[in-house]
Structure 1
């Protein structure tokens, strides 16, 4: 049921089973299993036959309000459709809006009061399709096949805002043009039932959004690309989406009670983070995250920010900071457990870090991951006070200097493990490999080759075994700082030996010290 019910006229086509328009997608959607893909509608409405103007001259919202109802599909044939007000439709069940080369064109906005247009042909809140609200959500929503034309100056609306109980499919949506009125970002999606599973596929907003200070709007900082609000409690998939540069995060999961999965897609140049993820068992797989441009207002363009929750995962993902203005991946303090695996990180020629594990965060695994760093900074920076960080088969390369962040890997946390890494850092300014600043750390196997001293131990009860370490500039392979205690250095190949500045009760056995 919508907020406004209308009568159906003879322009409405009645049939039990609707197959046209989405037939080509049924095969792929059958694997998803969402109810919105079944196509069973009591009524199918061709919006043009129902009286809508496909030439973009007349507002279509009255037609939508007249015909939208439960168990109804509204088809949009090829054309341009003008919206000069928000279409608000709540408390519905089994409703579809499907376009076939259909473009939504919003009215003009000349003045804003908060989030609403007060002058121009568009009136009221700057949303277009508002489908469900938290207190009257919809369910079984199918929304597919629309372009939203935001190419006009002072354009950019929330194209779709959807709150559903369990089931939603949003697919093949293109936001064309920059969002530049300083109001709601292009999309919001929320699944309210913890048992609900919904899908957003091919949502694309590559042109990003403008900072509010450069617009007529006043939303703080500027729009978010796609917002998943704190009301979300179900599972929400984002597949093969694309977001450009937004001032307040690209994809932003602002709550921790639901689960979000990002699979594939390209996320670029957003401030704060291009992907900001939270919620137990949420993960990113097969995505590409890029920072290759910055605006004067961009203060911190992280690639991926893991905010909060347990078992957060970044897998098979590429993060490229060609123009770095923030760290590639940050594991925040409220993360209870995280894993970064089979991924690659590139940090260009500016001072930023690759992977940062913040103080207080829980156990974090970094497995089979490549970090290439050309700017000064740490490839991996593990801050103090938190769970064990386990680095396994990590490969660190690049020409980073030691001018700021001297060590490729800097560990300030107790009981961390470094197993079978390959660290090659030939850069200038005394570039080093591994700094051990936490007690009871375990270093096993691996190869460290750096311009300056490859390994520096500054803590107690460090265990180093079966490691090969070599300085390209002829320094010792290992440095033990004054006052460190109870280190065990066993069965290593340490070129040019060990520089012991006054460690105590150190065990050294079966090590080789070839000249290098």
Structure 2
């Protein structure tokens, strides 16, 4: 993920007693939940057991009929359309508060068509259960809620019995640095929130100290938050503590579990996550944190009878552009919680000072914490990599196992936490000292991808052509010696050697595993999936980050495939289209495709785009002049910008400024250009060719069609491939021209009907009599059409 959206794959293993991902919703409306727990699958729609409802007396919605519906595991008595049923204004001009309040009733799901919706008042959910909001757009930004200018509006306020769902919408806090929107979505019975985003500039805390209040009040309930985004378009106003707005927060009333997964939180002006005080637990999976003030990951282990807080597969970046106290703060609000678990965490810290990249402050009062398979790069010369102060709990050891630590920063201090240990890890930090940590099998320097100092396995897909895949292993050296063995398993076939070529029997997605061994006998392995097809796609598209968060969307005319290993799980690829993110210059999303790029849009940010290695401006159109078997000379000019597609233009073609002339001949011969603006002029100086814009055939030239009488009354009907228009002074009232067809009459040789048309003359039929037909002055053999 990351500021560059690297592939951080969360670990699926569950430690006994650490994460149970269960919930229960009761059948009653307001009593405490008592139902049994049911397992939740990762990234599922949860299939939560919703209230089975007693039909409520509906006053505000009594005139709207709707069948009972179960959505996101919640049973709703009715589904209403915000515009058609409730009369809300989707233009952002008139406030929707009255209509929203009328529908804020138990058992209601409101669906919002794409648009902007203005709110002026807070909306309380304290007495409402089984309530939801869902955007109907193709993207979460298609439905946006805006606060009145200068106001801080609670979209949901007060918390309530739940369950609740919010999905596929955005909350736009404007760019005025004072307007704000927040959701107090605390609940007894849990929530399911998916694909939401905060846009605009989050202000200072002048009304509410959080963007999202996420407490789960019942010990057995679970709140699920997936695909939550903030700061991808604009950073929050910088703040001095405590004037900022914490983003994702739970308080002393949190007793259940809240799960945040597959999300990105950037540049908030207070803690990105803060869940420290209550006995409930926090589960973070595959979440990206970039330059958030105060703290990025901040939670305590909680005091749940069967679960403990954990973070898995997360990425944290702090570069000093904002005041961040730490990347991870393990904090129990002095409640003595112990046992938080962190797995597969990647941290990039380049800030010069701070409490510690990983901090367990004494005033937080947190006991033990465990870190497994983590990678930390600390270039903050004044910043401790791990700073664990003394606390009162006896269970207070800090365990760092199979981790990699690099950079110019300072080292590790566990105060008097007995049993603290760094184990099976690599430390390549010349300025780092180790205080009060025991060490077991820790190498000094030479950190590679495998943190025990052994070899690092990686797979590169170098080529794919017609069911054949070419693979190569990393040409790397570990801390002790060279890799001496490469052992491959490609769909059940075994190979040895750095490079592998394998041909598959049929198209599909296959597993490839590489095991490498160094000269000391240490090994490492990695597995990837490779998609192959019977006919390899001819063109290569690369979207390369430029250092800012960029979301793109594009379509091709024929077929599209992602290049294995370059696409992350938050990217969405279909047979002909894709949406995704890139950020850092080292991060590229890559595809192969056939046909043309028919549309390309940056939904936010910008990136460099390459087709077959040549950089292009994706906002330009692709113009193709395709030969049809005869020698054809063309000339054209565009209104704004023109550049040739490399490899398609020959030395006899001439491209200058916004105009070009050239030749095409055979059907497989095309001259291609990137163009911006309109085709101002186009002429075939010799012959004819087919012209395509973004894969769609166009007809940039006009031809003249003449139908001349031969002495007998003749009725004709003609059809063209483009559009046809009559030359007005040659037609009579009984002649008819429409779109791509024309019908009319001619008689003697002095009687002529004339037309201009684009495309080909595809059909000529004489319904009565016979006439002569000419295109651009040349006679046409009608029987040959």
TM-score between both structures, scaled by the size of structure 1: 0.67
Cα displacement (A) at 1:155: 3.8
Against the structure 1 CA distance between its residues 270 and 64, is the aligned structure 2 distance closer, same or farther, given a 3 Å change threshold? same
Match of 1:145 in 2: 168
CA distance in 1, matches of 2:76, 2:214: 23
Question: Offset of 1:177 from its aligned partner?
Answer: 1.7
CA distance in 1, matches of 2:278, 2:339: 12
Is contact 2:251-2:278 (8 Å) kept? no
1:381 Cα deviation after fit: 1.9
Residue 129 of structure 2 contacts residue 163 of structure 2 at CA under 8 Å; is this kept in 1? yes
Q: Secondary structure at the match of 1:186?
A: strand
Rg comparison, structure with higher value = 2
CA deviations over 1:327-377 (Å, ceiling 9, x no partner): 2111234222210110010111532111222223602211001111223x2
1:305 lines up with 2:335 in the alignment: no
Deviations 1:227-282 (A, max 9, x none): 11121111000012221223331111131411001111111212221111113311
SS at match of 1:40: strand
CA RMSD in angstroms, aligned pairs only: 2.5
1:6 and 1:65 in contact (8 A); partners too: no
Q: Deviations over 1:99-138 (max 9, x none)?
A: 12311111111xxxxxxxxxxxx4xxx23322443xxx22
Taking structure 1 as reference, are residues 73 and 151 closer, same or farther at Cα in structure 2, changes over 3 Å only?
Answer: same
The separation in 2 between residues aligned to 1:128 and 1:6, in whole angstroms, is 24
Q: What per-residue deviation string (whole Å, max 9, x for no partner) do you get for residues 135-183 of structure 1? A: xx22111111111112331344243111100220111111112202433
- C-alpha contact 1:44 1:72 (8 A) present in aligned 2: yes
2:360 matches 1:331: yes
Determine the structure 2 residue equivalent to 1:343.
374
- Corresponding residue for 2:80? 45
Change (3 A) 1:131 1:6: farther
**Map of 2:299 onto structure 1:** 277
Say whether 1:58 aligns with 2:85. Answer: no
SS in 1 for 2:213: strand
CA spacing shift, 1:245–1:169, aligned 2, 3 Å: same
- Is 2:246 the counterpart of 1:210? no
C-alpha separation in 2, matches of 1:57 and 1:163: 30
2:127 counterpart of 1:127 = no
CA contact (8 A) 1:182 1:211 kept: no
Offset at 1:423? Answer: 1.4
How far apart are the structure 2 equivalents of 1:132 and 1:151?
A: 24
Cα distance in structure 2, aligned partners of 1:145 and 1:54? 16
Q: Could you tell me whether the CA contact under 8 Å between 1:158 and 1:187 is conserved in 2? A: no
Q: Counterparts of 1:349 and 1:355 in 2: how far apart (Å)?
A: 12
Q: Is the 8 A contact 1:150 1:156 kept in 2?
A: yes
Structure 2 counterpart SS, 1:231: coil
> Which of 379, 403, 408 does residue 374 from structure 1 map onto?
408
User: In structure 2, do the counterparts of structure 1 residues 143 and 370 end up closer, same or farther at CA, with 3 Å as the change threshold?
Assistant: same
Once the two structures are superposed, residues 307-334 of structure 1 have per-residue CA deviations (whole angstroms, 9 ceiling, x without a partner) of 1221101111101103343221112342
> Bigger shift: 324-333 or 301-310?
324-333
Query: d(CA) in 2 for partners of 1:158 and 1:338?
Result: 35
User: Relative to structure 2, which stretch is displaced further, 271-280 or 62-71?
Assistant: 271-280
Matched, 1:321 2:349: yes
Q: What does 1:98-113 correspond to in 2, within 5 Å?
A: 98-100=134-136, 101-109=142-150
Rounded Cα–Cα distance in structure 2 between residues aligned with 1:314 and 1:392: 15
Q: What is the SS of the residue equivalent to 2:351?
A: coil
For the Cα contact (< 8 Å) 1:368–1:393, is it kept in 2? yes
Identify the residue that residue 397 of structure 2 maps to in structure 1. 363
Partner residue in 2 for 1:182: 205
SS at match of 2:383: coil
SS in 2 for 1:266: strand
Q: Contact 1:156/1:186 (CA < 8 Å) preserved in 2? A: no
Instruction: Tell me which residue corresponds to 1:14.
Output: 66
Unpaired stretches in structure 1, ≥5 consecutive residues: 20-36, 110-121, 214-218, 402-407, 427-445, 448-516
Worse-superposed segment, 416-425 or 279-288? 416-425
CA distance in 2, matches of 1:288, 1:91: 38
Query: Aligned in 2, Cα 1:338/1:230: closer, same or farther, shift over 3 Å?
Result: same
Give, in whole Å, the separation in 2 of the partners of 1:372 and 1:234: 37
Cα deviation, 1:193-250, whole Å, max 9, x if unaligned, reads 111111111111124432457xxxxx93211122111211110000122212233311
Determine the structure 1 residue equivalent to 2:483: none
The question of 1:292 aligning with 2:319 is answered yes
Structure 1 partner of 2:47: none
Residue 271 of structure 2: aligned partner: 249
Does the CA contact (< 8 Å) of 2:287 and 2:315 recur in 1? yes
TM-score with structure 2 setting the length:
0.45
Residue by residue over 1:448-468, the C-alpha shift from the partner in whole angstroms, topping out at 9 and shown as x without a partner, is: xxxxxxxxxxxxxxxxxxxxx
1:277-319 Cα shifts (integer Å, max 9, x gaps): 1133111110001102424xx2x43100001221101111101
State the distance in 1 between where 2:59 and 2:252 align: 33
Aligned residues: 370
